Amino acid sequence: MTQNSKSTNSLSATKRALLALQEMQAKLEATESAKTEPIAIVGLGCRLPGGANDPESFWELLSNGVDAITDIPSERWDIDQFYDSEPNSSGKMYVRKGGFIDQVDQFDPQFFGISPREAVSMDPQQRLLLEVSWEALEHAGQPLDKLMGSKTGVFVGIMNLDYFQRATEPQVVDAHTATGNAFSVTSGRLSYILGLQGPSVAIDTACSSSLVAVHLACQSLRSKECNLALAAGVNLILSPEVMINECRAKMLAPDGRCKTFDEAANGFARGEGCGVVVLKRLSDAIANGDNILALIRGSAVNQDGRSSGLTVPNGPAQQAVIRAALANGKVEPGEVSYIEAHGTGTSLGDPIELRALGAVLGKGRTPDQKLMVGSVKTNMGHLESAAGMAGLIKLVLSLQHQQIPPHLHLNNPNPYIPWAELPIEIPTELTPWHCDHGSRIAGLSSFGFSGTNAHIVVEEAPVAEPLQLEVERPQHLLTLSAKSEDALLALASRFEDYLKVHSQANLADICFTANTGRNTFTQRLAVVAQSGQELSEQLAAFRTGVETAGVFTGDLEDKQRPKIAFMFTGQGSQSVGMARELYETQPTFRQALDRCDAILRPYLEQPLLSVLYPAEGETSPLDQTAYTQPALFALEYALYELWRSWGIQPDGVIGHSVGEYVAACVAGV
């Protein structure tokens, strides 16, 4: 029996009951706290209209107020065959424009271990999700080989079946048609290829699908059903049938643009794309040293229920879901300074949404505390099942840059919106996101025409203290790898371009992330540089085929790791000051050498470190055998620990003289 048990038994029954109640209360509080723990966004990936193929280009599009709406690509269908400006024409559409991405037919199946034959039967939405998820995990600095067998969840919003309509024509059906087009396999294939063993779910709630996916991912993380989660939305427009249907229902704007909150709002524009966010519990992200981009404070999902129409927006339900998300995140309405609205640009939906926002978030605001509201749909249309993801990534980027991008196509405010009664402002130019107290907090809404509504509350990332290196390294090593020479050249070119634009970026951080946060492939490049400018120049030399010092390439054809042997030298190789630079710059090496120094203190007349690294003007007895042998052992053991910390383990060891003892130690003899 423990001392604590004896002490508890000596208490009166009343005191024991009180103690039990206190313990139960503490457990309940811990459980309740876990239910509302903020979720960290640690990685982003996107493929969006306007060439926004990564977060950086997406921000450039947003901050410059780019209208990414274009003509329907000719490779999708013959628009002239299906176009008619008359809205009631059977089998026709009155729209010629939308928000489209490029090269949806391009895919490298073998990169993901998929046969070309199977890839033909795969919905391009599945293919796109694989690519963007890979990019999001790389953006998070998460090596994919470390995820194999992990409790990582996958939550994907998806709703359209355009490819299925083509793939199920009797003459083209094959053995891969079902798995290539089932929504369940969209998430399941990603889990299968990456070896993820957490929940894997495809969600279809129409326009709110991807935000519902985020909500479910947050719940799964908080319940510890998974430790890492990918939340995604994907949507591609591949055939004319849905467009024809929506034209017959008068849903679409004839000019192909969402004119959200404007008096000319007359429907939405269709858009396509894919967005992925990588999520972790905040406590885990901090413990792992992840780059936290933003926090999800709270989320909620509800349903319109019986209302004035199946697809008609329900104002009270919208208010309820926003209140629930605020309560889930323990956020007061007055703390929210920006809302990324659902904002489809319909004459009925826009006034309902702004009234709901005003009812929940408008109370108590002073004239100088107006709620800013905007919608990414004015840039690229309504991405349907991926719409929430486009809005979320926009929010994260806006918080990082502390700026709110311009809301487009607002020329004359909608007269059916009671602007004078609402403390709301629509930014029509790039606007500084000021915060006089606390931190920047925003909300994001998605309302599905299924009646399912979602809202999440997002906060800017906590301020991270910059890491101060004890000693600046004089040299930095960047390693890159790819599956082909062309891919390696393209990757090196992207790093080169990044360094040109971000000349003041922390080179140590860049190299660390590239070296430890990426999978390794057969085509390899290593570059040693002292500065970002030198690294950029060396990458340019590699790209142009110019031989340059400090640039090394290799082709690891064999998938098997080459066998490695460590050889440890004997007496005669010592020198005063040996490995001083490693001792000053490498913590692992320094800790191992310090440990040896402490162990040897009782046995040496002079401390080992003072023998290796004497003060200026002092002599060292390093060449005396009594010091030479322990110094070589300590140094070689510290070198082994350093290599081991870098993930390099020997398959065999050999030593000479005192080096035999190091080899025996490393081998565990």
CATH at residue 118:
3.40.47.10
DSSP line for 46-59:
EEBTTTB-SHHHHH
**Would you say residue 249 lies in a domain?**
yes
**Would you say residue 30 lies in a domain?**
no
What digits encode the pLDDT tens for the residues 419-446?
999 999 999 999 999 987 789 999 999 9
pLDDT computed for residue 10 by the predictor = 67
The residue out of 555, 574, 609 marking a domain boundary is: 555
**Would you say residue 2 lies in a domain?**
no
**Would you say residue 20 lies in a domain?**
no
The residue out of 425, 460, 495 marking a domain boundary is: 460
Which residue type sits at 590? R
pLDDT computed for residue 387 by the predictor = 98
> Does residue 414 share a domain with residue 443?
yes
- Best CA proximity match to 279, nearest among 41, 114, 505, 480: 41
Q: Check if the beta carbon of residue 565 is closer than 8 Å to that of residue 651.
A: yes
The segments of the chain whose pLDDT lies below 50 read: 1
**Would you say residue 412 lies in a domain?**
yes
- Best CA proximity match to 164, nearest among 153, 176, 152: 176
What digits encode the pLDDT tens for the residues 470-518?
556 778 899 999 999 999 999 999 999 999 888 788 888 889 888 888 8
- Best CA proximity match to 353, nearest among 328, 374, 330: 374
> Does residue 166 share a domain with residue 92?
yes
Count of structural domains within the chain: 3
- Both tokens of 169, joined, read 């024509």
State the CATH number of the domain containing residue 622.
Answer: 3.40.366.10
**Would you say residue 129 lies in a domain?**
yes
Range of the domain at 456: 39-460
> Does residue 581 share a domain with residue 550?
no
> Does residue 543 share a domain with residue 598?
no
Instruction: Give the predicted TM-score (pTM) of the model.
Output: 0.86
Return d(Cα 84, Cα 94) in angstroms, integer. 5
The residue out of 494, 524, 555 marking a domain boundary is: 555
> Can you list the alpha helix ranges (DSSP code H) found in 68-123?
79-82, 116-121
pLDDT computed for residue 150 by the predictor = 97
> Does residue 216 share a domain with residue 149?
yes
Kindly report the CA angle at 643 between 641 and 648, in degrees rounded to 5?
Answer: 125
